[in-house]
Structure 1
Amino acid sequence: MSVEVGEKVIGKVTGVKPFGAFVELPGGKSGLVHISEVANKFVEDINEHLKVNDEVEVKVLSIGDDGKISLSIKQAQKPKRERREKKEQSPEDFEKKLSMFLKDSEERMSTIKRQAESRRGGKGR
């Protein structure tokens, strides 16, 4: 079985190095998951995420002319729905929020002006 760019497959970690992990793919080929493609957050120590013989789902990023296969674990994961499904905001909601913000802002500014005037001794002086 040969792998193709963009394909997601299950592989087995065969080696872990400071720069990434080697993963055996179906068909006997192996590829490298660079440390930057292990997780969606910064990975300082790859050993905290992967161990030899772990089964992982990987996405094939590229296959070089020399046969080297570049893989990604983080791109094989499904994106979180919360990030994809942003709540749509209607123009009425925006106008209402803007109006509330302006009203609150004006109230705060008038309070600040009154306090400043009282410290200076009022308007007449």
Structure 2
Amino acid sequence: MDYKIGEILEGTITGIQTYGAFVSLDDHTQGLIHISEIQSGFTKDIREVVQVGEKVRVQIIDIDEYTQKISLSKRTLESQFVRPPYHKKRYFTNKNKDIGFQSIEECLPEWTDEAMDMLLSGKTSQSK
């Protein structure tokens, strides 16, 4: 059977790897859904989304002209974008305190003096 890019088909998951899932489209044709095309958002473990033997609706997004490998997508058929869960941004400093670069500016002259003293005396911080 001749397949075309954009075509929507039903297939069966025949194998799962960390990088994607193999889908049997007919008795002689197989395609791959890359992990980035399984669903919108981040997919940590593809096995949480699809299982071997599961029937899936997929869209052909690419056919390699030379190898005839078929790239498939489930993500393009989603009716709406699935927003990934909100992750609180973590800071290494307390963002509520106004310290940031100001403390570096205050300490820099002292650090510079220490470095110059060490250079002039021939000592390094490792030889203390």
Q: TM-score, normalized by length of structure 2?
A: 0.59
Q: Quote the RMSD (CA, aligned, Å).
A: 1.4
Deviation at 1:41, TM superposition (A): 1.8
CA distance 1:51–1:8, shift in 2 (3 Å): same
Alpha-carbon distance between aligned partners in 2 of 1:63 and 1:20, rounded to the nearest angstrom: 16
Aligned to 2:47: 47
Q: TM-score, normalized by length of structure 1?
A: 0.60
Alpha-carbon distance between aligned partners in 2 of 1:33 and 1:63, rounded to the nearest angstrom: 12
Alpha-carbon distance between aligned partners in 2 of 1:77 and 1:8, rounded to the nearest angstrom: 12
1:1-125 aligned within 5 A? 1-26=1-26, 28-64=28-64, 65-79=66-80
2:73 aligned partner, one-letter code:
S
Structure 2 counterpart SS, 1:78: coil
User: 1:67-102 CA deviation, whole Å, 9 max, x = no partner?
Assistant: 11000011123346xxxxxxxxxxxxxxxxxxxxxx
1:70 aligned partner, one-letter code:
S
Structure 1 unaligned regions, length at least 5: 81-125
Deviation at 1:22, TM superposition (A): 0.2
Aligned to 2:96: none
Deviation at 1:27, TM superposition (A): 5.1
Structure 2 unaligned regions, length at least 5: 82-128
Aligned to 2:90: none
1:77 aligned partner, one-letter code:
E
Alpha-carbon distance between aligned partners in 2 of 1:5 and 1:26, rounded to the nearest angstrom: 16
Alpha-carbon distance between aligned partners in 2 of 1:77 and 1:14, rounded to the nearest angstrom: 22
Percent of pairs with identical residues:
38
Which contiguous aligned blocks of 4+ residues in structure 1 show a shift greater than 2 angstroms? 76-80
Which has the larger share of helix? 1
